[in-house]
Structures are given as C-alpha cells and as structure tokens.
Amino acid sequence: MTVERWGVHEVELTGPAHGNPYADVRLTAEFQYRNRIVEVDGFYDGDGRYVVRFSPDREGTWRYVTRSNAPELDGRRGTFACGPPGPGNHGPVRVRGGHAFGYADGTRYLPLGTTCYHWTHYADDELEESTLRSLADSPFTKVRMCLLPTKDMVPPLLAFPGDTPGRLDLTRFEPAFFARFERRLRDLLALGIEADVILLHPYDKGHWGVDDMTREQDFFLLRYTLARLSAFRHVWWSISNEYDFNRAKTAEDWERLGQFVQRHDPYQRLRSIHNGTRMYEYERIYDFTRPWITHQSIQHWDARLTGDWVAACPKPVVIDEIGYEGTVERRWGNITGRALLRQFWHAAAAGGFVGHGECYPDGRYDDSAWISRGGRLRGESVPRIAFLRRLLEEGPADIVGARRRGEYWLEYVGARQPAHLDVELPPGAAYRVELIDTWDMTVTELPGVHRERVRVALDGRLDLAVRVRRTE
Amino acid sequence: MTVERWGVHEVELTGPAHGNPYADVRLTAEFQYRNRIVEVDGFYDGDGRYVVRFSPDREGTWRYVTRSNAPELDGRRGTFACGPPGPGNHGPVRVRGGHAFGYADGTRYLPLGTTCYHWTHYADDELEESTLRSLADSPFTKVRMCLLPTKDMVPPLLAFPGDTPGRLDLTRFEPAFFARFERRLRDLLALGIEADVILLHPYDKGHWGVDDMTREQDFFLLRYTLARLSAFRHVWWSISNEYDFNRAKTAEDWERLGQFVQRHDPYQRLRSIHNGTRMYEYERIYDFTRPWITHQSIQHWDARLTGDWVAACPKPVVIDEIGYEGTVERRWGNITGRALLRQFWHAAAAGGFVGHGECYPDGRYDDSAWISRGGRLRGESVPRIAFLRRLLEEGPADIVGARRRGEYWLEYVGARQPAHLDVELPPGAAYRVELIDTWDMTVTELPGVHRERVRVALDGRLDLAVRVRRTE
C-alpha cells in the first residue's frame, strides 16, 4: 500500500492487554528514509491493540523498527512506500516569511479561523455533519476545538474513562473518545480545514478534575494525544485556551508544557498558547518570543493593535478571539456582524488575522450554539469574511513586506467617515487604486493609473477600504 | 460698588511705564476679610496701567494693601464690599465626592465639555459670536481653549509682542491679546460655561518659539497669566495639551510647572495635564495621583476603560479627547456621531465624562473648523449629548457611589446586540427600570416594580441603555 506524502501510515500491533498498558507499556518506532530518521511514539488503543501512526514527508521507501518494553511489540520491522500527495494535499502549514503562513508545497495558507470548542464531544452525528456542511460552505480555513470538556458538559465520552465528576480515571485513556475525535479530524482534513487543537483549558473548575492535574498527569495526557494526533498534517497545538484564567498553573508550568510538546512532536506542528484577558490588558498576552511558540495566538478586543503585535514579535499574528457575533448576554458573545468584520479588516490591512465565532442561540441547545457545538452558521459576517478571503488570495502572501516594498497594500477606513482619503504613493512607480466596500462586497477601480498621490472620495460611506497595487 | 461673591474686583493703579515693567515691577496685594488674608499678584496692562484682580469668596467688607518695588504702587490701600452672588453665579467648580464635581454653592456640575482650541485667536468678532451662540444652544458646560498659538496660525495678536516667527519678545506680554481673551472668558462666564485654559502645548515646533522656552520663561508666562486670569471663577488650568509630545520638556519640568501653578494660584482652580498618546498606550497617561492634580484629564480612544481609571485614582475622570466627530482625514477627526456618543455613554455609566469635538470642514477655514476655530455645530452627537445631560441631571451626583449603595445605575449596552439584558437587583429593595434609547432619545419604563432580577428585552436594537432606580 502506498501512502501519500504528508498522509498517515499506521502500523498496528497486538500486545499486552493486562494491567494498565497506557502507563506500563512503552512503544516507539524509528522510521527511516535514506539517512533521515524520525522517532515517533506509538499508543495503546485498547483491547490489546497498539498503533504507531506516522506521517512521511519524503517520497520513496520508508523502513521502520519498533522499540518497546513489551517483548511482543519490540523489534517489529517493516517498510512502506510513500508516493506523491493526493489532490488537495499541500502538506502541513508552516510559518513563512515572518508574519505569514504557507503549506509545505509552497501554496499560501490564510488562517481565517472559526471556533467550535466542543463540536465533537456530544456524539451527535447529525449535528457534527451539519457543522461540517457549514464549514464546507464557509470561508474558514481553521477550527479551534478542545480536547477536554468544560464543567457544564455531560458528554457521553471523555478523553479519560469514567462519567462521574471528580472520579475520572486519569491513569488511562478512552480510545473511543479519541476515535471519534480523529474521525472528525479526518473530515476536516478532507475539507482542507486546519484543526487548532486546544490541549488544556481552565473551564473545568475542579468539576471533572482535568484542569488542575499534576505535572505528570498533564505530560501523560499530552504524550498520548501527541502520539495519536501529531501525524495528522493539519493539526496545530494550542497548549491552553485562556491559560491565565487557570489558577492551578504557574508561568513556569506553561513553559514546561509548551516545551514538552515541542520535544515530543516529531513533526513540529504549529504551536501557541492563547490568553484569556480582560481584553484590553495588553500585558497579559503570552510572551510569544519564546522559542517554542510558532505564532501569536492572541485574545484581544481590538485588532487595531495588529501593527503593534507585528512589530513586537516576528511571528504571525492570529487574533483567535476578539468577540463573537451574536446575541447572548455575555459580553464576549454579542457583537454585531459589522463589528466583527471590522476587526477582520483592521487585522488584514496590518498583516494579521482574526478568528470568527458566532453565538446565535438556536433554541436547541445552550446560549452559544456555534462556538460550543457547531451546527449552522447564520451571522452576517460570514459572507463578508469570504469576500475578504477572496481579496487576500488575490494579494501577496506577506502584506507587511509588500507594503514595505511599495508593491501592495490595503488602507482600511472602516467605522470612520473621512470625506476622502489621500494616499501617498512611493515615487517612481505607478499604481492602480480600487475602492472596496467591505460590507456590500464591491470593488470599484478608480480610472487611470496613479502616481505620487491619489485622493479617493469616500462620500460619507462607512466600511470602505482602498487597495493599492503597483503596475510598473 | 458692591462686588458679588466669587465675582471679580479690580484695583487699577498707575505706575512706571519705562524700561520693562512686565519684568521689572513687582506688584502684589493682600486682601483681607476679618482674619482671612489672600495674597494675589497684580499685573502690568501697558501704558502705565497696573491692575490687581481679586475674587472674594466671603460676603462682607474686604480691605487691601498693595506691595511693590515701585514706590507709586506700594502701600496703596482700599476697601470694597462683597455681596451675595448674582443669578447664575454658583461659585467656582470644585471636586466633590471623589469622582464628581460641584459648584461652591452646592449645585452639581457635570463636565460635559467641548474643544475650540483657538476660537479667541483670530480677532474675528463674527466668528466668535457665532461660537458663543452655538455654545449657548449646546449641552456643553466646559470649553478647552489654548493660550498659545500653533505653528500654522498667523493670528493678529499673540500673548507676546511681535509677529515674526522665532522673533517674539518673550520678555514682555501683549495686553491687547489678553484683553480679547478675557472678554471671551467673560462671555463664557455669562453662559455658565467653564473655561479649561490650556497653558502650554507642543504644536509650535519651534516656529513662534513658545513651546521650548526656558524654565524661567515658562514661569514668567504662567505667573502673568495667573495674575490676569485666576480671579475668574470659571477658569481651569490645563498645564499642557499632549504634554508627552513636547520633546523640549522632561517629566521633572511638568512637575515643576504643575507645582508652580499650584503655588501661585490664590484660588486653587482645578488643575490637570493632558496626555497625547498613540491612544491605546495606557501608560502614557500622566500620574494623576500627583498631589497638585485635581482631576484626571485623559486622552484615550476607549471610554470602556473608565472603570479602570475610576478605580486607579480617586479623582474625577474627564476624557477630554477621545476622537472627534467629523470628516477630516486625520484619524482623530473622523469618527461618526454614533461612535462619539457611545464613548460619552460608556464613560457616564462608569462615573466618568467625555469631551466633545467636531471636525466638519465648513469650507471657510481649514479642515478642522469647530475644534480649532469654533463657529457652528453640525454634528449628530450634540442633541444626543444634550439628552444624556438631562438624564445625568436627573440622577445622583456620584454614579459610582450610588451604584455601590444599590440606589441608582446605568447599564449601557451600546454597540452590542444581546437579545436581552438580565439585571441583578440587590436583595431587599424594589427598583424601577427604564429602557433608554440613547440615539432616538426615548425613555420607556418597564411596567411594575422589580425585585431581585429583571430581564429587559432588547429586541436586536442598538445603542440602548437601562436605568435602574431604587424606589424603596
């Protein structure tokens, strides 16, 4: 069987089922292509079944050999062939050019994400398929989704065995939970949508007992999760959501956890950590210059600060939470579609990206349907984000760099109402200039080619932007 | 002649006109009522005319005696009678109750200010009278206005003699300039509008030579200005506008200047200093806990931080610049009326106050008509600020304290669109609840009296607020 490049090859083995194999059995494998060797962890999948999951990044023949403290899992060898990537497989996303992302094959990647924290946790196939249809029709290229439950949830399955609050068995895992999670990861992969997996969060408040585990318990969970999920090329790691709301952990704990993931992920998937905050407290954002962090995963209420974050740290700016479009009473879930779209544009014009979320109650579940359970998208911002995506796809990968070189930029006027905008054009070049209505989704080119300076009449309209492109 | 309490009594004297009387002649006077003695500076008004201006704060007979190094000005004595305040004279405004203001006679004062930086500088009577008519019809109770010119202005008169940039005579003053300035101060006083006089600013950029004067030159200007203006009960001192944009001065300089004004103002008028800023840089706001500062004069783009400023410093919060309604290209002058009104409401609900400004070009002058020259008000926010003023006048002087006691508060929803607002009501009391449309200017009472909790339906409308008042 040939595995496509950046696809997943699985080695299945049978081994000991007695005792606690999750804790007792160590299983690793070395995969080798010519002189390149990648060591990965295997994992126990229950019922005596062991799996080593591997994602090859070179085409050709790979050999492997296993290592284990269980004799029947040790020294098992094999080979498999890695062929070219299939349609739509561009490889994993990497940071490219400072503040931008690209797939491994060179294709541009725009992180226009949305949030469905627990869309896989309710074992509700109809809802999950509705979510997938919504995502397929949406402009979104990334979903933030949690591994662990919140205290208000009563899901049929959790990552750990058990269903009694405070009495989960934290020494084992629940393979059926992971199997469903992985099935939905594969569905996202088929849609070309990245999965930003949130490993920890502070919303358990001692209920299930999963947000104040010991360091060893955290490492145990992370290592198992990495063994199962890291081979999926579209997985990103968010060490924690709103890490600073977790009172059981210190700054040192978060550093150890981040470095642990860095050390144990053979593929070096994208890694960050997301602050909670009173939104305007700039200083509570994580120190994204830390070496283990690949990109800035920010929560803040104001994307007008994007330029600051771009300047402060040479890593992509992804404002994963900025307030959700919706009608719930909590302040994070009741901004208008127009307000959310403005955030997307402020960030985009400065070379950053905003994450979407929706809280329109659907009457069926709780107050915050899309962001917690997925389902149907109904907000006004979604089609306008699709329009923005189309414009961004027409532009350079690195807006900041292109602007610096005088090649391309966006001037976003947004909620302001200047009578006109005077755009200074670098000397010695000619430019095409377009007026963009970000809400009505129109692009109107100004006649002619412009040099040195152009005055764009805005006529009291709101939510406008100007696109400037060098023509010679 | 009887002078009203908190009015102005002037003693005019004739003295030396040779040499440089502004620098050479020292003139002070002691005013005495019973055992209360107030020492004030006199000033040279040109042509051998000297004036001592005094504002009595007690009714009865006051005596005075002058002191001077010029024999003909020394030892001059007299008396005058101080009677009750006239209609509309409530005395000077003072800080009252931590974050609020009140007049000396106990009347509440709400600092709903506007900005007309140089409305008195152009010697254009028609324009100045138009400004005064606009103010008379407006809800504004304070005007920020500059003493010194900016580099772009060519006014017929300046505080110093001369009309050649860089060649003003900084050793003398121009009495005709001050006379016009004072005439307009008296006009404001008649309208019941406070004058927030900005003593220094950083907009001269070395042109006239007035924003990088020596310490002695600054003190010379301030002492003369205090001698002329401090007797007007409605004058406030803003040591500088956007002090942090002035590169010629250090933090120590500002402290010295603030303390100088504190030391030489016999009436202890309100004093503050106003930051420039990149708007979101919280840390550039002055340290308002400094003893010489009476209130927080903030520039910031976001009045949602009002609660923070209230908590950080036990002095009134006055956000004197937050972005002006208008259509100019500069980012400080093109927000919508709706956006500006939202700032007023955010501050008001948290116990603070925002300052207004308008930049609708009128075609006659430059781009920023009202804020620089006054004239006609045309913005959409003005009538809505009047509506807010009426509501605030119906409420308690100290919203923060009233809220703390469970008596009265405003919940401002503004740009958010929650389907409803659940308001928790302190136990053991009954409340009346009203829905306020801040844009359409309506107040709709919810039927009945409410206890413990009330759900207010908002029906997808924007710019709403809820007023809660205890009835028993």
Which distant-in-sequence residues (6+ apart) come within 8 Å of B278 by Cβ?
B284
> Is A448 contained in some domain?
yes
Q: How far apart are CA B369 and CA B134, in angstroms?
A: 13
pLDDT value at residue A367: 54
Mean pLDDT value of segment A182-199? 98
Report the pLDDT averaged over residues B327-333: 89
Question: C-alpha angle with apex B48: B46 to B50, nearest 5 degrees?
Answer: 75
Same domain flag for B206 and B289:
yes
Gap from B240 CA to chain A (nearest CA, Å)? 27
Predicted TM-score of the model (pTM): 0.90
Verify whether the Cβ–Cβ distance B415 to A331 is below 8 Å.
no
Rg (CA), chain A: 24
What is the mean predicted confidence (pLDDT) over B363-380?
83
Helix (H, G, I), strand (E, B) or coil at A72: helix
Q: What is the mean predicted confidence (pLDDT) over A399-407?
A: 92
Alpha helices (runs of H) in A18-124, residue ranges in sequence order: 21-24
Which of chain B's residues have a Cβ under 8 Å away from the Cβ of A280? 282, 302, 304-305
B328 Cβ contact list (under 8 Å, min separation 6): A418, A419, B334, B359, B361, B367, B368
Distance from CA of B117 to the nearest CA of A (A): 21
What are the chain B neighbours of A335 within 8 Å (beta carbons)? 415-417
Q: What is the mean pLDDT of residues B432-450?
A: 98
What percentage of chain A exceeds 90 in pLDDT?
A: 87
Kindly state whether residues B203 and B263 are assigned to the same domain: yes
- Chain A hits for B329, CB-CB cut-off 8 Å, are 418-422
Give percent helix, percent strand, percent coil of chain B, each to the nearest 5.
25, 30, 45
pLDDT of residue A368: 60
CATH number at residue A426: 2.60.40.3950
- Give B305's contacts in chain A (Cβ within 8 Å): 280
The pLDDT score that the predictor gives to residue B283 is 55
- B64: which 2 tokens? 């005075």
> Rounded mean pLDDT of A387-407?
94
Q: How far does B330 lie from chain A, in Å, by closest CA?
A: 8
Summarize the confidence of residues A178-189 as an average pLDDT. Answer: 98
**pLDDT attached to residue A366:** 55
pLDDT score recorded for residue A205 = 85
Strands (E), A430-472: 431-437, 442-445, 453-457, 464-470
Number of folded domains in chain B? 3
pLDDT greater than 80 at residue A278? no
Could you write out the DSSP letters of every residue in B197-208? EEEE-S--TTSS
A180 and A303, same domain (yes or no): yes
Residue B88 lies in a domain: no
Report yes or no on B212 lying in a domain.
yes
Give yes or no: residues A115 and A216 share one domain. Answer: yes
B266 plus B414 within the same structural domain:
no
Q: Which residue of B has its CA nearest to A420?
A: B329
**Candidate from A334, A416, A420 with C-beta closest to B416:** A334
Nearest C-alpha of chain B: how many angstroms from A219?
39
Whichever domain contains B297, its CATH number is: 3.20.20.80
Across residues B446-455, what is the average pLDDT? 97
pLDDT band at B218 (very low <50, low <70, confident <90, very high): very high
Taking CB atoms and an 8 Å cutoff, what residues of chain B touch A422? 329
Judge whether residue A280 has pLDDT over 60: no
Residue A439 is predicted with a pLDDT of: 98
Which H/E stretch holds residue A229?
Answer: helix A215-229
pLDDT band, very low/low/confident/very high, at B179 (cuts 50, 70, 90): very high
Bigger pLDDT: A439 vs A276: A439
Mutate to test the interface with B, among A417, A454, A464 (most CBs of B within 10 A): A417
The residues near A383 (Cβ < 8 Å, ≥ 6 apart) are A441
Domain end position, chosen among B352, B376, B397: B397
- Closest partner residue to A334 (CB to CB) among B282, B361, B418 is B418
* β-strands A113-115, A296-299 pairing: unpaired
With respect to residue B443, please indicate whether it lies within any of the assigned structural domains.
Answer: yes
Tell me if B328 and A418 make a contact (CB, 8 A cut-off). yes
Dihedral of alpha carbons B74, B77, B83, B86, sign:
negative
Q: List residues in chain A touching B: CB distance below 8 A.
A: 280, 282, 302, 304-305, 326-329, 331, 334-336, 339, 361, 415-422, 460, 462
In the predicted model, what is the mean pLDDT of residues A238-263? 95
CB A31 within 8 A of CB A11: no
Q: Is B336 close to A302, i.e. CB distance below 8 A?
A: no
Sequence letter at residue B224: Y
In this prediction, residue A284 has a pLDDT band, given cuts at 50, 70 and 90, of low
> What is the rounded CA–CA span in Å between residue A281 and residue A261?
27
Q: Does residue B100 share a domain with residue B69?
A: no
What are A343-392's pLDDT values in tens digits? 999 999 999 999 999 999 876 665 568 999 999 999 999 999 999 999 99
Nearest alpha-carbon partner for A12 in A42, A34, A56: A42
A117-136 residue pLDDT tens: 999 999 999 999 999 999 99
Which range of A156-160, B222-226, B311-315 scores highest in mean pLDDT? It is: B222-226
Looking at residues A187-209, what average pLDDT do you find? 94
Query: H or E segment at B191?
Result: helix B175-191
Strands, E, within B177-244: which ranges?
194-200, 235-240
Q: Choosing among B301, B302, B329, which should be mutated to test the A contact, i.e. which has the most A CBs within 10 A?
A: B329
Quick one: pLDDT band at residue B354, thresholds 50, 70, 90?
Answer: very high
Same domain, A191 and A142: yes
Cα A238 to Cα A258: distance, rounded to the nearest angstrom: 9
Question: Are residues B99 and B59 part of one domain?
Answer: no
Interstrand relation of A194-200 and B194-200 (parallel, antiparallel or unpaired): unpaired
- CA–CA dist A123, A49 (Å, integer): 23
Contact B457, B419 (CB under 8 A): yes
* Minimal C-alpha gap between B91 and chain A (Å): 40
Q: How confident is the model at residue A420 (pLDDT cuts 50, 70, 90)?
A: very high
Is residue A282 predicted with pLDDT exceeding 60?
A: no
State the pLDDT at residue A97. Answer: 82
Q: Which of A329, A361, A418 lies closest to B329 in CB terms?
A: A418
Q: Is the pLDDT of residue A142 over 70?
A: yes
| Mutation site for B-interface testing, chosen from A278, A282, A334 by largest number of B Cβ within 10 Å | A334
**CA nearest neighbour of A267 among A227, A297, A295, A238:** A227
Interface contact A462-B302, CB threshold 8 A? no
- Residues of chain B in contact with residue A339, where contact means CB-CB under 8 angstroms, are 415
DSSP B73: G
The length of chain A in residues reads 472
The whole-chain average pLDDT of chain A stands at 94
Q: With contact defined as beta carbons under 8 Å apart, do B351 and B309 qualify?
A: no
Residue A88 belongs to some domain of the structure: no
Residue B366 — φ and ψ, nearest 5°?
-80, -165
Do A59 and A196 have their domain in common?
Answer: no
In this structure, the number of other CB atoms found within 10 A of the CB of residue B443 comes to 14
Q: Say if the Cβ atoms of B302 and A304 lie within 8 Å.
A: no
- Check whether A407 has a pLDDT greater than 90: yes
What DSSP state is assigned to residue A450?
B
CATH number at residue A6: 2.60.40.10
How close A366 comes to chain B (CA, Å)? 14
Which helix (H) or strand (E) is B178 found in, with range? helix B175-191
Q: Which domain holds residue B7?
A: 2-83
B38 lies in the same domain as B151? no
Q: Reduced to 3 states, what is the DSSP secondary structure of residue A215? A: helix
Find the closest chain A residue to B323 by CA distance. A416
Among B53, B83, B113, which residue terminates a domain?
B83
pLDDT digits (tens, 9 = 90+) for B275-324: 987 545 555 678 999 999 999 999 998 999 899 899 989 999 999 999 99
Does B33 share its domain with B137?
A: no
- Say if A174 falls within a structural domain: yes
CB atoms inside a 10 Å sphere around CB B187: 18
CA separation for the pair A454, B120 (Å, rounded) = 35
User: What's the CA gap between A412 and A439, in Å, rounded?
Assistant: 12
pLDDT of residue A211: 86
Task: At B352, list the tokens.
Answer: 């603070």
A-B C-beta contacts closer than 8 Å: 60
Among the three residues A57, A83, A109, which one is the final residue of a domain in this structure? A83
- State how far the Cα of B83 lies from the Cα of B86, in Å rounded to an integer: 9
Q: Check residue B361 and give its pLDDT.
A: 85
Q: How large is the average pLDDT for residues A427-436?
A: 97
**Min distance A63 CA to chain B CA atoms (Å):** 56
> Would residue B343 count as lying in a domain?
yes
Q: Which two tokens stand for residue A144?
A: 């933030």
Contact B415/A304, CB-based, under 8 Å? no
Least confident among B28-32, B240-244, B337-341: B240-244
Find the CB nearest A329 among B415, B418, B462.
B418
Q: Are A420 and B329 within 8 A, CB to CB?
A: yes
Give pLDDT, residue B366. Answer: 55
Q: Cβ A417–B462 below 8 Å, yes or no?
A: no
Provide the pLDDT for residue B284. 62
Are both A303 and A361 inside the same structural domain? yes
Interface of B with A (CB under 8 A): 280, 282, 302, 304-305, 326-329, 331, 334-336, 339, 361, 415-422, 460, 462
**N-terminal to C-terminal alpha carbon distance within chain B:** 51
**Mean pLDDT, to the nearest integer, of B323-335?**
92
- Per CB-CB distance under 8 Å, the chain A contacts of B339 are 415
Written as one string, the DSSP assignment of B106-132 is: S-EE---EEE-TTTTTT--HHHHHHHH
Give the pLDDT confidence score for residue B204 in this predicted structure. Answer: 87
Cβ distance of A304 and B462 shorter than 8 Å: no
Q: Is B339 domain-assigned? A: yes
DSSP state at residue A149: -
